[in-house]
Structure 1
Amino acid sequence: MIFKRRQKMDGQAAAIEAFWSWWTTARPEVEKAIADGRWDGGVVDDINRLVSAIDAGLGWEFSAGTRSRHLLVVTSNADRSLRATAERWRRASPEPDDTFGYASARQPSPKALEAQLQFDGHMLDLTALRFAADVGDHAVDVRVWHPAFADLPEEGRLQVTFLALDWLLGEDGVEIWVGAIDATTGPAPALTATALAELVNSRAAELSGQWALLSGERRGRPLIATVQVPLKAARWPAADTHVELVVPFRDTTEAGLPAEGSLAALHELEDRIFAYADGPILVAHETSDGTRTYHLYAERPNAADVLEPIVSSWREGKVKMTVRADPAWERVRHLSV
């Protein structure tokens, strides 16, 4: 399995290198196509071929930049399993300049909501969009309304809704900070696009760096979990390798949770893990029946090597470390709140 994954990653790395090699020579032609508004089949076909060679599930587009005039985006199209691949493409890009910047997710473009959108035979004035927001503990649920929604099928309403939210908040902003999304044909809500963006950005600032404490049972024994919130892979877009540490401890309460002696040792262990700023990221841990399971994510499989001295020095039992590819973060899905 590890060998096959390494082969795939090597193939993607070669395809990414091929893309940027092509870009070096083709960039003037792309710049001319944008300026003239004339895209011949050759440039488009080349980009399609080169992006598909990295992964067929990726998409690409040019949009207006903020620091650069144009922004080239290669996107995972909301496929969590491809987010790290898109990020590796971005990290291999040239330095942004006045003309071109590069991104691995669609960026906020709120001015797009000042325009009109031709969709399914309708001309939608996007300034008429209105929003309702339900602010939860770890995300903002959003309902989107437009007067034309009454004349659109449900699928069309949702397409416009997701387009509008991506333009307003950016692809990662929606993925990380927005919970449930719905398109409504009921009475118009009160929030404008600007007001919704301010609300979501404010909530994001409040939640940044927070952890949530969860509780439950496992095999009839108390279970306590501590989780970074929101627990979304898009916060660490290149971290697609799951590192699991199963750590036994000896000093327990009757409930199987750590008593004072082992609790201090576990805190020291976590401090040592956090000391590696460029190593695996600790996103959650679960504690039950004399064992604490740490969930970490790394940007490459060998990043877990820095943990070996920590694991081998644990004095309260044998630590089991397992490293797996997990680009969609399936291993911690049960801890999402």
Structure 2
Amino acid sequence: MTPFGRKPRPASPLDSFWAWWATAGGSLDPTSPGPWVEDLAERVRAIHPGLTWEFGPGARAQHRLTLSAAGDAAARAAAQRWYDAAPEQGPRWEFAPTKTPDPAPLASRLRLGDATLDLAETVFEARTDPREERVHVGVFHPAFPGLDEHTRGQIAFLVVDWLLGEDAVERWVGRLDLLVVPPARPASGEDVAAAVAALAAANVPDSWVMYEGEREGAPVRVICRAGVRWVDVPTFDTHHLIAVAYEAGPDGLPAAARNVENIQAFSERLSDAVGGEGIHLGRELWNGVAVFHTYVDGTTDAGERVAAVARGVGVPDEVAADPGWSEVRHITG
């Protein structure tokens, strides 16, 4: 018991993991499986049940411990927090919160169920959509016509993950097509990686766009960040929606320049409130209401600061866990 009879607060799974690593985990031999395997697996599951782990050679250290979220946004946030809490890298161990590119397996043979494939025979198709900032990728292998769709999908996802790394697949790949006939314009893995690299090089993270459309027969105007997606900031996992009425014209959009200025000023207050612990993504203007979208790291007090901005104008702050940013897909893509 602590003074005054208070029970000590239990350690978080992250704290427990790194405390264990400091006393036992860091000295394990990844080439010699033992009881530590289940111990490590249990500790990783405690961080998030959607996480898996693997060992491999390090880029700057002898070994690397990698966590993988396999596309699960909530698990990816947990992996990032695990990585951010990691000890300083040494000569023996380094850590990674996601699988990085590893094209070497693409020259090997893969056995999956009853199928054995020479991955060197894989052919790709790559189509860049600059507006969506996505590369649509097709994957073909001569064995695909004889495989069921589920198996083809497993192979295709493994291949693109090895080729690009998990985060790049989530960030830049749009459609992933499972081809049963060779593409008309075949591309190599290097071509796909180059297309993704070109998009990434052209990306401006702080760029904003404005576009207009129609919703339920009335004009809607959207002003939002164009160069960022959830995987760029995986710990910004909590959505704050604030709706503020404004003086509207007959079309439902702001009636005067002062209304536009007030809306812009409110956006700036939200950006200032979150600082480096969140991101204000933008706003939708429709039928006399401005809807503001902001994401924060739910483990910080940034959400309280956003709520204070909402209270300042007498409106509620609607909060929801949304690590994959599903609430803003209709405006960010």
AA of the residue aligned to 1:293: V
* Counterpart in the other structure of 1:117: 110
Q: What's the CA shift string for 1:56-98, capped at 9, x where partnerless? A: 2221112333233332122222122322122212212112233
Q: Residue 76 in 1 paired to residue 69 in 2? A: yes
- Residue 66 (structure 1) aligned with residue 63 (structure 2): no
Kindly report which structure 2 residues correspond to 1:166-185, keeping only aligned pairs within 5 A, or say none. 166-185=161-180
Q: Distance in 2 between matches of 1:220 and 1:123?
A: 54
TM-superposed deviation, 1:173: 0.6
User: 131, 136, 141: which one pairs with 1:141?
Assistant: 136
Query: TM-score under structure 2 normalisation?
Result: 0.85
The answer as to 2:290 corresponding to 1:292 is yes
Tell me the SS of whatever aligns to 1:204.
helix
User: Is contact 1:70-1:99 (8 Å) kept?
Assistant: yes
Equivalent position SS for 1:147: coil
| 1:177–1:230 Cα contact (<8 Å) kept | no
Structure 2 counterpart of 1:23, one-letter code: W
Per-residue deviation, 1:219: 4.5
Aligned counterpart, 1:130: 123
Matched, 1:159 2:154: yes
Question: Which SS does the other structure have where 1:202 is aligned?
Answer: helix
Distance 2:112 2:216 in 1: 53
Structure 1 counterpart of 2:152, which letter? R
Give CA deviations for 1:278-313 in whole Å, capped at 9, x if unaligned: 143012311112221111100026212334564455
Per-residue CA deviation, residues 115-137 of structure 1 (Å, 9 max, x unaligned), is 33233344433232221012122
1:28–1:321 distance in 2 versus 1, CA, 3 Å: closer
* CA-to-aligned-CA distance 1:234-282 (integer Å, 9 cap, x gap): 12100111111222223x3331212311112222333333345314301
The whole-number CA distance in structure 2 between the counterparts of 1:215 and 1:71 is: 47
Partners of 2:27 and 2:142 in 1: CA distance: 41
**CA distance in 2 between partners of 1:99 and 1:152 (Å):** 42
Give 2:80's aligned residue: 87
- Give the gaps of 5 or more residues in structure 2: 1-8
Q: Could you say which residue in structure 2 is the equivalent of 1:244?
A: 241
User: CA–CA distance in 1 between the matches of 2:240 and 2:329?
Assistant: 14
Give the superposition deviation at 1:186: 0.6
Q: Report whether the alignment pairs 1:283 with 2:300.
A: no
Question: 1:65·1:71 contact (CA, 8 Å) conserved in 2?
Answer: yes
Q: How much has 1:27 moved relative to structure 2? A: 3.3
**Consecutive unaligned residues in structure 1, runs of 5 or more:** 1-9
Pick closer, same or farther for the CA change 1:65–1:208 going to 2, 3 Å. farther
Equivalence for 2:304: 305
Could you tell me which residue of structure 1 aligns to residue 232 of structure 2? Answer: 235
Amino acid at match of 1:91: D
Where 1:225 maps in the other structure, the secondary structure is: strand
CA–CA distance in 2 between the matches of 1:64 and 1:118?
22
Shift of 1:336: 4.4
Normalising by structure 1, we get a TM-score of 0.84
CA–CA distance in 2 between the matches of 1:151 and 1:219?
46
Q: Alpha carbons of 1:128 and 1:208: their partners in 2 closer, same or farther (altered >3 Å)?
A: farther
Check if 1:57 corresponds to 2:36: no
The structure in which a higher percent of residues are helix is 1
Residue 33 of structure 1 deviates from its aligned partner by 2.9
In 2: Cα distance, 1:161 partner to 1:228 partner: 31
Matched position secondary structure for 2:280: strand
Change (3 A) 1:312 1:57: closer
Give the fraction of aligned pairs with identical amino acids, expressed as a percent: 32
1:25 matched to which residue of 2?
Answer: 23
2:223 is aligned to 226
- Give distance in 1, aligned partners of 2:181 and 2:227: 30
Match of 1:98, SS state, is coil
In structure 2, relative to structure 1, the CA distance for the partners of 1:208 and 1:116 (3 Å cut) is: farther
Distance 2:73 2:144 in 1: 29
Contact 2:234 2:323 in 1 (8 A): no
1:253 aligned partner: 249
Residue 193 (structure 2) pairs with residue 200 (structure 1): no
Structure 1, residues 122-165: CA drift from partner, whole Å, max 9, x if none?
A: 44332322210121221111001122323432222211110111
Which shows bigger deviation, 226-235 or 18-27?
A: 226-235
What is the CA deviation profile of residues 21-70 of structure 1, one whole-angstrom value per residue up to 9, with x for unaligned ones? Answer: 1111223543x233xxx312x12111111112223222111233323333
